Each structure stands twice: as C-alpha cells, then as structure tokens.
Amino acid sequence: MSDIAKLQIGEKTYEFPLVKGTENETAIDIKALRGATDGVITIDPGYKNTGSCQSAITFLDGEKGILRYRGYSIEELAEKADFLEVAYLLIFGELPTKEQLDKFYADILDEAIVDDDIKKIIDAFPKNAHPMGVLSSLTSALTAFNPSSVNVDSEEDMYKAIVKIMGKFPVLVAWTLRKKQGLPLHYGSRKLGYVENILTMMFQKPNDEYELNPIMINALDKLLILHADHEQNCSTSTVRIVGSSHAGLFASLSAGISALWGPLHGGANQAVLEMLEAIKEDGGDTKKYMGKAKDKEDPFRLMGFGHRVYKNFDPRAKIIKKAADEVLGDLGVEDPILDVAKGLEREALEDQYFVDRKLYPNVDFYSGIIYRAMGIPVEMFTVMFALGRLPGWIAQWREMRLRKEPIGRPRQVYVGENLREFVEIDKR
Ligand code: SDX
C-alpha cells in the first residue's frame, strides 16, 4: 500500500499522508484537508470512521475480538494481575515492580480521605437520587476542595493528582451507596487492599465486623480490570475533549461519569438486569423480546448486545460469563436470571437479524449478574463500571495532555436558513 491517499474533488486531485499504527491500522491524515480544498471537510456522525487521536494505551481489534492494555492481553491480565497493578500499567505504561506498586498504594492510602464537608453535599441529595448523578456531582465537587489545577508538565504534580483521585473515588462510590441505604459513611483501613477497602466501605454494617469473602474480592478485582479501559469510547472521548480545554482532571472525570451513565453506554449494565427481570416476569418469553428488538417501530433494543467496535464476541463478555458461573456457584447463589440470560444469548446467536448485524453479547450483558450476586443494588451497577474505568480515564487524560493535543472543536455542515431580513413583531 502506498503511503498516501488520493482524493478527487471536481477536476482536482489532492494527496494526503497515511498514518500507520504499530498494529498496522491505517488512517488518512486530513489535518490539511480544509485549507488545501478551500473549505471542504469530512462528516461522520458518531465518528464511526474517524480517529480522534493516536494512543499507546489500549489496542482492540473488533473483528478478531482482541483487547490489550499496553500490549498485554486482557485474558492474561484478568487471570494474573490485580486491579491496582493494571491501573498502574494503564497510567504509567509499564507493569510495576513490587516496590513501585507498594509505594503507589501507600500514596493512594494517604489520599483515601475526603474533606468532611463533602458529607454536607451528600446529605443534600434525596435518597432516591440516581447514584451516577450523585457521583458525577461529588467528583466535580472535589475540584472545590482541591482547587489548584494539575500542572501536567510537573511529573510530581501529575502523580499527586492521580493518587488523590485513585484514593478518594472509592470513598465517594461507597458513600454514594451508603447514603441511599441510610447507613453511616465510614472509611476502610490501611491494613486492607484496594478492593478489600471498597467492599468494606460499601458493606460493613455499623454494628458488626465485616468478614471479607475471597470470592467477592476476586470477582470484583476481575470485573474492575475488565472495565479499566477501552480506547476512545464515548465516556473516554468525553474525558479527553473536556480535558483538551485544559479543564482540570476532576472536572473532566465528572463529565466522563455523566457520559457513561447513558443506557447505550455504561448504563447498559443496569438496563440489562431490568430487561432480564422483565423477561422473567413475562414468563421467560425471550421470543417476544427478540421480536421487539428487531421491530424498527419498537424503540426496544436488546441491552447488552451489539457494540460499536466489536463485530465478534466482546472478549470481556466471555471472561465475565465464565466468572458469573463460578461466582454464583462459589457463593451458592441460584439466580434464575442467569438462565434467562443464557437462553436469550443462545437465541440471539442463532437469529439471522443478529447474525447479519454481528450483534454479540458485550461487557454489560453478564456483569450485572455478578454484581447482583455480590449484593450490589442494580442502580449502583454503572457506578461500579465507573470505578473500574477510572484508571483508563486518568491514563487517557494524561496522555492527551502530555502529547499537548489541541482543543477539541469539530466542524459542521450548516443546513439551516440562508440569510433573511428581520421582521418587526407587528408584521409577523
Ligand atoms: C459499552 O465503545 C465502547 O467501547 C463502549 C464500551 C466500553 O467499554 O467503554 O464497550 C461499553 O458501552 C458497551 C455497549 C453497551 N450498550 C448496550 O448494550 C446497548 C445496546 N446496544 C446498542 O444500543 C448498540 O449496539 C450500540 C450503541 C452499543 C452500538 O451502536 P452502533 O454502533 O451505533 O450501531 P447501530 O446503532 O448503527 O446498529 C447497527 C444495526 C442497526 O440496525 P439497522 O439499522 O442496520 O437495521 O444493528 C441494530 C441497529 O438497529 N442494533 C441492534 C442492537 N444494537 C444494534 N438491534 C437490536 N438490539 C441491539 N442491542
């Protein structure tokens, strides 16, 4: 393949350089397009064919169902690493030595306390507030308590901001749940691991010791790893574009949480459980819901199916499906919803509509079944997704700033009224 692309507009032919990535992905560099063609631009709703950046963090191949963080396969990381190791890898680019990981976690623990005035903000929310709205607000509020914006050119400043949010975010997540349950807001302990602290802060009852269950710890650790990054998805692109205006890290993360909340994105894990519940209540009539999903007149979509990039099985879904069987078995949980999910998957994988459109189960299809078995309420499922995605958002924001990417400002094609004269109100 030559290293240029030719574009013919009218009588003129233009040449643009090709960019090739380390996994042989090829892009047309159109930086010079508008200037060279006297104003012609491209248009690509949803950016289905448009790359926003060059990134060294995550590689995925949607056709082959491949996902790697910094070159390591998701299968190996889910089996051999723990979440904090993966967070370090995503953010700093290399797997940490034991000393580096111990120091990273000690620095995170130093920051795993939030200003007590945050409790006043939490108290102002109604108990029925959706946790994603609460979490997005609390994350933005961290800016108020940590006003100095990150000097990304200072490694020390950047590191401080990273350990701050890695320490404080799990506290905000746990307190968001506790507030809904009317339980006191408390902290974990320096004696516990990162995931152990999350479970303790979420589930410890005020009048009892909390007994950590290794099955729950391993299940949550694996789920957080599987959600940790996914290149330029909707919420990560939001974090990048907000950060590209040089808004702070916490403000950018708050925007990412809001984008993740949508049911077409991270909110799908909650929507999957609600859909499976509805099918179960409806006598397990999966055929009826398959029909609704294919009916263009019906806005219903099969939640947890399809993906913008994966046109094969989402590798994360395969790992989570296996884990769901193991965790429910180990916890001794019988959940008929799992059987509904497996029946629906079988049906969809044989259905021509789904086969033709390459619609496979995605990361959200089975994750909620594990969260539910762990006793996490359904409206907290997307919050757990955000907890996993945090290091990925941080890594992508940091890369965007360190590469000094320009402010994100897309163009448009105007299709409104041409120039017209103003008409006085008494003449309209
Ligand atoms: C996540 O981008 C990421 O990486 C996201 C994520 C991450 O880790 O950050 O992987 C996490 O968001 C996973 C996706 C969770 N969302 C859902 O499960 C919601 C249900 N899925 C769909 O809404 C949909 O599949 C999307 C939003 C995920 C992808 O939509 P696209 O790429 O814009 O595809 P499309 O809407 O153009 O659909 C193509 C065709 C259409 O039919 P036709 O017009 O060609 O006849 O497939 C159909 C769609 O109607 N279709 C579905 C469907 N998904 C697509 N039909 C029924 N049920 C579905 N779920």
pLDDT for 84 beyond 90: yes
**Tell me, what's the pLDDT at 163?**
97
Residue 171 pLDDT > 80: yes
Which has more confidence, 335 or 102?
Answer: 102
Statement: residue 149 has pLDDT above 80: no
Average pLDDT of the residues of the chain: 96
* From 52-56, 126-130, 333-337, 390-394, the region with the lowest mean pLDDT: 333-337
Model confidence at 1: pLDDT above 80: no
pLDDT cut 90: percent of the chain above it: 95
Residue corresponding to tokens 């009317």? 182
Ligand 1: does its nearest atom lie under 6 Å from the Cβ of 264?
Answer: yes
Question: Which atom of ligand 1 lies closest to the CA of 48?
Answer: 32
Ligand 1 midpoint to CA 312 (Å): 13
Tell me what the mean pLDDT of segment 353-366 comes to: 94
Mean pLDDT of 88-116: 98
Per the residue annotation, which of 44, 307, 325, 426 is the catalytic one? 307
CB count within 10 Å of CB 80 equals: 10
Write the pLDDT tens digit of every residue in 27-58: 999 999 999 999 999 999 999 999 999 999 99
Bridge partners of 20?
26
Asked if 307 is an active-site residue, the reply is yes
* Residue 6: exposure state from Cβ atoms within 10 A (0-12, 13-18, ≥19): exposed
Coil vs helix vs strand at 59: strand
Q: Give the span between the Cα atoms of 249 and 400, in whole angstroms.
A: 11
Average pLDDT over residues 143-164: 89
pLDDT at residue 148 greater than cutoff 90: no
Query: In Å, how far are 158, 236, 335, 345, 361 from 342, measured between CA atoms?
Result: 44, 30, 12, 5, 10
Find the 247 Cα to ligand 1 centroid distance in Å.
30
pLDDT at 2 over 90: no
Q: Are 387 and 139 in contact (CB under 8 A)?
A: no
Atom 23 of ligand 1, nearest CA residue: 264
Going by pLDDT thresholds of 50, 70 and 90, the confidence category of residue 193 is: very high
C-alpha 217/C-alpha 240 separation (Å) is 31
Model pLDDT, residue 66 = 96
C-alpha closest to that of 398 among 136, 137, 150 = 150
Tens of pLDDT, residues 194-220 = 999 999 999 999 999 999 999 999 999
3-state DSSP call for residue 8? strand
Which residue type is seen at 407? I
Cβ of 261 closer than 6 Å to ligand 1, yes or no, is: no
The residues, any chain, with a CB within 8 Å of residue 61's CB and separated by 6 or more, are 23
Are 154 and 95 in contact, with CB atoms under 8 Å apart? Answer: no
Residue 186's pLDDT is 95
Half-sphere exposure of residue 41: CA atoms within 13 angstroms, side-chain side: 9
| CA nearest neighbour of 111 among 160, 178, 180 | 160
The DSSP bridge pattern shows strands 66-69 and 72-73 to be antiparallel
pLDDT band at 223 (very low <50, low <70, confident <90, very high): very high
DSSP helix/strand/coil, 190: coil
pLDDT digits (tens, 9 = 90+) for 384-403: 999 999 999 999 999 999 99
Instruction: Name the residue of 231, 236, 308 whose CB sits within 8 Å of the most ligand 1 atoms, as the mutation to test its pocket.
Output: 308
* Atom 24 in ligand 1: residue holding the nearest Cα: 306
Backbone angles phi, psi at 160, to 5 degrees: -60, -45
Distance, CA of 236 to CA of 159 (rounded, Å): 20
Report pLDDT for 153. Answer: 85
Q: Report residue 151's pLDDT band, with 50, 70 and 90 as the boundaries.
A: confident
Mean pLDDT in residue range 67-86: 98
Predicted TM-score (pTM) of the model is 0.96
Residue nearest to atom 41 of ligand 1 (CA): 357
Q: Is the CB of 311 under 6 A from ligand 1?
A: no
pLDDT of residue 152: 83
Whether 186 is catalytic: no
111 pLDDT band (50/70/90 cuts)?
A: very high
- The mean pLDDT of 229-236, rounded to a whole number, is 98
- Percent of the chain at pLDDT > 70 equals 100
Looking at residue 344, what is its pLDDT?
Answer: 93
Give the residue-averaged pLDDT of 78-100: 98
